[in-house]
Amino acid sequence: MLPTEAGESKPDFFREAVRSPALQNSINPFHPELTNPLRKGQVNSSPPQFALLSPTNQYTSLATNFLLPNNADKVYLNGNVIAQSGTTPATVNSVVGVRQGNGMVVIRPLTIDGCLGYTPTAAVKFDGTNAGRFVCYQYQGPSTTISGTSRSIRTGYVMAARSVASDADAATFLSDIANAPVTSTIVSGTWSASVVLSSGTLAAAQDIARGVTVYRRFNGKDYSRARYSVSDGTTDVDYAAKWLDTVPSK
């Protein structure tokens, strides 16, 4: 469990916070086997994610956090520039953008499950010293255990990157992602999601009970890449192998 500055306690999905100065590479902070590469200057997305929680741990707060760099040139919420301090209310349908120079990343949640009857809520928070976060709360309330089917709590999102030369380019990028057609369905225990972007259609599916990826597709064709891959358009780096496969010395 990971305590936050606000005194909350949530499962720790993060091995190491990552900040890209040019914001031209996307880092997916979730399970490395479920990530997709993001090429500089192109748009890509992540397959669906879900957390399998301990049936015995006590939880007062469960949330999905998208880390944001401190002191970016601009942070956008639903097309508007917001202050990089304190808490700005949002919703699980909000679109958040971060711009640094000519690089920009946009995050759009597609599916955010609540649990134990909780209706998901969201905010953009700059409550730490090293990073801000776009947080989608999936439970907040009295300390409780989570068991049965409520332990599979889904998070689906699009995270996209693009070069932008002006405020108008940034506004167009935010609009493109906000208005991209999406699907998210569960059929016979398989969760499928897709998004249609200017670069093509991305789709992914997971077997919820087994917690494994069924497929990942681009324009209808299956593909497989390194588990946690980032590309500058020429060279791919597998960060899963770099960070997660080798246990650091204490």
Judged against a pLDDT cut of 80, whether residue 196 lies above it is answered with yes
**pLDDT at position 36:** 30
Over the Cα atoms of the chain, what is R_g? 17
**pLDDT at position 225:** 59
- Judged by phi (left if over 0) then psi (alpha if -120 to 50, else beta), residue 31 lies in beta
Residue type, 78: N
Judged against a pLDDT cut of 70, whether residue 156 lies above it is answered with yes
Pairing of strands 200-207, 152-163: unpaired
Helix (H, G, I), strand (E, B) or coil at 34: helix
Pick the range with the lowest mean pLDDT from 11-25, 179-193, 214-228.
11-25
pTM score > 0.95 for this model?
no
Distance from C-alpha of 198 to C-alpha of 42, rounded to nearest angstrom: 9
Which residues have C-beta within 8 Å of that of residue 167, sequence separation ≥ 6?
none
**pLDDT at position 148:** 61
The domain segmentation of the chain, as residue ranges, is: 2-180
Judged against a pLDDT cut of 70, whether residue 226 lies above it is answered with no
Q: How many CB atoms lie within 10 A of CB 213?
A: 16
Q: How many CB atoms lie within 10 A of CB 182?
A: 17
Judged against a pLDDT cut of 50, whether residue 248 lies above it is answered with no
The confidence band for 240, taking pLDDT boundaries of 50, 70 and 90, is low
Residue with tokens 């167009």: 172
Highest mean pLDDT among 11-15, 155-159, 179-183: 179-183
Distance from C-alpha of 64 to C-alpha of 224, rounded to nearest angstrom: 25
What is the mean pLDDT of the segment spanning 110-117? 89
> Are 101 and 73 a contacting pair, CB within 8 Å?
yes
How many CA atoms lie less than 13 Å away from 159 in the CB half-sphere? 27
Pairing of strands 2-3, 9-10: antiparallel
Taking the C-alpha atoms of 16, 40, 38 and 226 in order, what is their torsion angle to the nearest 10 degrees?
-80
Which residues have C-beta within 8 Å of that of residue 210, sequence separation ≥ 6?
none
What is the mean pLDDT of the segment spanning 139-158? 79
Beta bridge partners of 231: 39, 236
> Are 153 and 136 a contacting pair, CB within 8 Å?
no
